[in-house]
Structure formats: structure tokens, C-alpha cells
Structure 1
Amino acid sequence: MTPVAPTDRVLDLFHGVRLTPTQRRIAHSLVQHAASAGYLSAAEVAELARVSQPSVTRFAMALGYDGYPALRRRLREIVAGGGAVPAPASGPAGNELQRAVRAEVDNLHQLAEQLADLGRVTAAGELLAASRPLPVLGLRAAAPLAAYFAYFAAKVHPDVRVLDTGGSLLADRLEQARAAGASALLAIVLPRYPREALDALREARAAGMSVVAITDSPVSPAAEYAEIVLPAAVGAQLVFDLHTAPMALAMAVLQAICDAAPADAQRRLEEFEQSATRRQLFVG
């Protein structure tokens, strides 16, 4: 059995705990520095998370500890007790690019284990399938993923609207979707988390829409505004992030949308294929 990675063991500390946005920033910083988390002072954690040192103390108490020293002892215990993750069976660690790709493989394995429980994905599919129209939010780094999802979702859903630009137009388009009957929003929110994306989630919830968030961690800032949080780790080994697992999760959500209304999905797919054949869209 593969030992649990330090990141996962630290993340387990926060499951089921309702954290404030500031506390989520602290938790996210500890997850990002899982291997050394148990050796950081409160001041160092505060600097990493860009919060005050008293906020770190309050964070530890929110988790049920007397103060940060007690939490730090626990962090040392869980990191030291889990052992190291072995090198891949395929051979040595390899060069930087190989390590980055292997880390993405690990992220996909983690996502596969997470999907053993289909409850949240199934619930997300039902919410999104019922929304007419279906707005899909993705700003900055998440914009290509939102467009990729929407391209395929439009084949099985009658009205998919991509929200991939910020500014005042984003609020306009969100209001228009709600006025047209949208009951749910799919938001893809990835590091570095755009402030406009979080503002849009806040506005969507205030307007009565359910929010399904695909994000990199259960303690990401998007979690505060989402009814259903679907995490998928982002690769951070290269200069720019790798989004392999979030893209796979997005397509799993689309599968859940199809499963929520299989007859409608099949009918729309058949109609598209007939249209594609008539217009000779593809050569193969």
C-alpha cells in the first residue's frame, strides 16, 4: 500500500471544519508546505499566508487546539508518522519534466480515489442539468477549462453560457443568466484565485443560485461560496501550473450531467450527429 502523502495528511486536519476566509488562507499555506509545516513558527506561517500572527493562533484554536504550539506538534506527528512516498515503479525520479508529469499522474490517482464516492459529483450533475441556462464561470487560468467544458456541455444541454471575462460585463452576464432562469452555476476557480471570480460567486449565491466549484483544494477561497466543492490538485512543478486533474474532473461532472437526464442527453447527441453528418463537419 502506498503511504499517504504529507499533503493529504495535513489536509485531513481541516476536513469537516468550517473556516473563515482568513483561516482558509492559513490552511492552504500549510497544505502547500506540508513537509515542513511542523517546523514553521507562527510568525513564519503568518508571513506565508499574509495574515497576522494572532490569526494563526485563532486558526489553531478553531481546529480545537490550545494554541499554535499544540497544532505544530500535531503537524510534526502526522507528517513524520506517514512515511515517504516511494519513487515510481517505472524507475528513478528523472528530469524536471518527468517529475512534473509523474506528479500529475499522482494527482490523477488521488482524483480516482476521491471519485470512489460519487455522491458529490452526482449531486452536482443533477443541479447543473436542471439549470436553464447553465452559466460556466472560468477567469484567467481557468478560462480555457471553462471553454473546453462548455464546448462539450452544449451538445447535451440546451443553453450553456461561458463567463470567461471579468469587469462590469461579468456582473451583467451573471444577472442576465439569473433573469433567464439559471438556478445553478459551475465555477472553475484555480490558483491564483481571481478576486473577480470570488466576487461573482458571492453575487451568485446572493441571487439564490447554487454554486458548484471545481477548485484545487477543499480549503481554497472558492469553498466559502460553493454549495458543492469538487477538489482536484493542480500541478505546481513547472513555471506554470498543470491542470490535468481539474480538466478530468470537469469531464466527470459533464458525465454526471448526462447521467442526470440520460434521455435528453441522448436525444441531443443524436440530433447533433445528424446535423454534423448533413453539414459534413468532420472528415473521419
Structure 2
Amino acid sequence: MNHVPLTISDRIQKQLDDLTRAERQLAHSILENYPASGLGPLSSLAKDAKVSVPTVARMVQKLGFSGYPEFQAELREELKAKAKDPIAKHDTWAEGAPSEHLLNRFTDAVIDNIRHSLGQIDPAEFDAACALAADTEHHLYVVGGRVTHTLAEYLFLHMQVMRAKLTHIQSTSNAWPHYLLDVKEDDVFIIFDMRRYENNTLKLAEMAHARGARIILFTDQWRSPVHQLATYSFSSRIVVPSAWDSVVTPLLLLETMISTMQNLTWDDTKDRMQSLEEMFDQTKLFRKFT
């Protein structure tokens, strides 16, 4: 099986419970502006986190690095990975491709992505995000980007059956600022943003956050800059032997969220489903064999 290497963010999150108070303070400082936070001098990182230089050196070693230079080198590699275009990603995979059939290699990579991603998710946070998205006291906005709009549309289609007070915003449209006119405090945005992160999506998130909206983010292992604004953020492993990133893991999380919200709202969802089916019967949209 092809095991995807841990990012430094993954290592930090796995080690959080074993860190000292000062080291946890440093860890949160690194994650706040990750990965750019660790690219400057060691003394600057220590100053920004309000910890000592020895604290930085100790935590770097706890993360498995021989020293700060090796830590920084790994961060730079992660930055390169975040910026790779499809052609560059394909070349990386093709150089060391094993001889097994792509069906098996691709499946191994996806399964590894799923296992690793689920291991990083707090079930209590996931449940809280689902409850927030299911709460019809507040309007729900769904936002996707150039590629992730397919995930947003998939969610929107299911949410139409479950709840009212729902809007699908396409961040690639020049008209998206119009939707912000009616955003109220505590409204909820579900945003999909994966590499290469889109400026429109970040700006939309910033403006919604400034109006008091809460954000649920679905992103990748390197994390969209929107994560700094999000109430809940869920990262997925997306690297597979392809020129394109995989959406299998985020889709798994999304379908799990849909199922959870269905259970939370089942009485209302059932009524809406029955009304919808009656309308489908009238339109004769679907063939019936009975």
C-alpha cells in the first residue's frame, strides 16, 4: 500500500496531547499561519509564539526532525506541493510508479487517504457541525469553487429536500457579493476550498465572517486560508496517482454529514420528501414500472 507521508500539521495535531503548555502555545501559533509561520528564522518563530528559543528546538525534535533546518526544508516541500499544477503532479507520480495495475494503486491511495483523514477528525466536532448546518433557525449558504462546485451542488441538492432557508452561492460568479446583502449574524456557510485556493472564496468568507456568519470548511491536508475564519474545519487527504486530486474523502465526509443531518431532521425531512414525490408524480419526470 502507498502510504501518504504526514504533513507537519498532521504531526503537530497527533502530538498535541503530549506537548508541554509552552509547546502547545507554539504549536497553535504555527498552525495559525501554517505553513508560512515556520519559514522565517527560529528566533522570529519563538518571538511570534511568545516562547523561548529552546522551546522551539525541543518541539521540532519531538516532531521527528533533527533540527530547525530540516523542519524548514520539509515546510518548503509542503509549499511546493500546495502550488503544484496538474502537469507537475502527474510527473511526480509517473517517476516512481510501481508496476501494479492503476486500479489497485489508485484504490490503495484512496483507502489510505480515508483512513488517515478520519483519524484526524474529532467526532464531537463533526456532530456539532452537522447540528449547526441542520438548524433551520438560521439561513444556510453553500459555496464551492472552480472544481469543488460539484461538491457544493451535491450538498445543495440534498439540503433542498431537508430544509428551507437555503442558498447556493457560486464563488466563481461575479454576482456573489449580492448574496451577502441578506446575511445575518449566526447564519451558516458551508465552504469547499481545496488547492489551488481561490481568492474569491477567501474574500467571500472574510466578508461573511465580518457580518457574524459561522463557517464550516471542507478543505485538504494543507488547509485553505479560510480555516482561520472557520468555526469547524475538516481536512481531507486528496493526493492520488493522478494529475488531479481526489474528492473521494471529502465526498465521504459530505455524505456522512448529509446522513447525520437527515437523522437530526427526519420528521421534517420525511414530510418534505413526501411532498416532493407527489410533485414528481404530477410532472411525470420519472418512469414508473408498476
- Residue 208 of structure 2 aligns with which residue? 204
Q: Which residue of 1 aligns with 2:64?
A: 76
Compute the displacement of 1:100 (Å). 2.8
2:33 corresponds to 1:23: yes
Q: Residue 223 of structure 1 corresponds to which residue in structure 2?
A: 227
Q: Which amino acid aligns with 2:41?
A: P
Q: Structure 1 residues 98, 175: closer, same or farther in 2, change over 3 A? A: farther
Aligned partners of 1:205 and 1:225 also within 8 Å:
yes
Alignment-derived partner of residue 190 in structure 1: 194
Q: Please tell me whether the aligned partners of residues 162 and 262 of structure 2 are also in contact (alpha carbons under 8 angstroms).
A: yes
1:273 corresponds to 2:282: no
Q: Which residue of 1 aligns with 2:127?
A: 122
Q: Which AA in structure 2 matches 1:73?
A: Q
Counterpart-to-counterpart distance in 1, 2:46 and 2:285: 56
| CA RMSD in angstroms, aligned pairs only | 3.5
Instruction: Give per-residue Cα distances to partners, 1:43-91, cap 9 Å, x unaligned.
Output: xx74xxxxxx33895179749663765555334369xxxxxxxxxxxxx
Judging changes above 3 Å, is the alpha-carbon distance between structure 1 residues 60 and 266 closer, same or farther for their aligned structure 2 residues? farther
- For residues 17-62 of structure 1, the C-alpha deviation after alignment (integer angstroms, 9 at most, x for no partner) is 43368731247xxxxxxxxxxxxxxxxx74xxxxxx3389517974
State whether residues 61 and 67 of structure 1, in contact with CA within 8 Å, keep that contact through their aligned partners in structure 2.
no
Residues 93/186 of structure 1: CA separation in 2 closer, same or farther (3 Å cut)? farther
Label 1:66 to 1:55 Cα distance change in 2 as closer, same or farther (>3 A): closer
2:248 to 244, 250, 260: 244
CA change 1:252–1:60 in 2 (3 A) is: farther
Deviation (angstroms), 1:207: 0.5
Contact 1:134/1:182 (8 A) holds in 2: no
TM (norm. structure 1) is 0.71
What is residue 87 of structure 1 aligned with on the other side? none
Tell me how far 1:109 sits from its aligned partner. 2.6
Read off the aligned partner of 1:265 and give its amino acid letter. Answer: T
Could you say what secondary structure the match of 1:76 adopts?
coil
Query: How far is 1:237 from its partner?
Result: 3.0
Decide whether the 8 Å contact of 2:148 with 2:194 is kept in 1.
yes
Does the aligned pair in 1 maintain the 2:217–2:233 contact within 8 Å? Answer: yes
CA separation of 1:93 and 1:247: change in aligned 2, threshold 3 A: farther
CA separation of 1:56/1:255 partners in 2, compared to 1, >3 Å: closer, same or farther? farther
Name 1:54's counterpart in structure 2.
Answer: 41
Q: Distance in 2 between matches of 1:67 and 1:163?
A: 44
TM-fit CA distance, 1:118: 2.9
Residue 84 of structure 2 is matched in structure 1 by none
Which letter maps to 1:18?
H
Deviation of 1:172 after TM superposition, in Å, equals: 1.7
The counterpart of 2:153, out of the listed 147, 155, 173, is: 147
Paired residue for 1:175?
Answer: 181
Q: How far off its partner does 1:169 sit?
A: 1.7
Change (3 A) 1:271 1:198: same
CA distance in structure 1 between the aligned counterparts of 2:30 and 2:59, rounded to whole angstroms: 18
Distance 1:256 1:108 in 2: 18
Separation in structure 1 between the aligned mates of residue 140 and residue 118 of structure 2, nearest angstrom: 26
Q: Once the 2 structures are TM-superposed, how far is the Cα of residue 9 of structure 1 from its aligned partner? A: 7.6
Q: Which AA in structure 2 matches 1:259?
A: N
Asked if 1:13 is matched to 2:12, the reply is: yes
Paired AA for residue 272 in structure 1: L
Partners in 2 of 1:57 and 1:226 — Cα distance?
26
The structure-2 alpha-carbon separation of the partners of 1:20 and 1:202, relative to structure 1 and needing over 3 Å to count, comes to farther
Tell me the SS of whatever aligns to 2:255.
helix
Structure 2 unmatched runs, 5+: 17-23, 67-97
Distance, in Å, in 2 between the alignment partners of 1:268 and 1:108 is 32
CA contact (8 A) 1:232 1:245 kept: yes
- Contact in 2 for aligned 1:234/1:242 (Cα 8 Å): yes
Q: 1:193 to 1:9 in 2, by over 3 A?
A: closer
- Uncovered stretches (5+) of structure 1, i.e. residues with no partner: 28-44, 47-52, 79-91
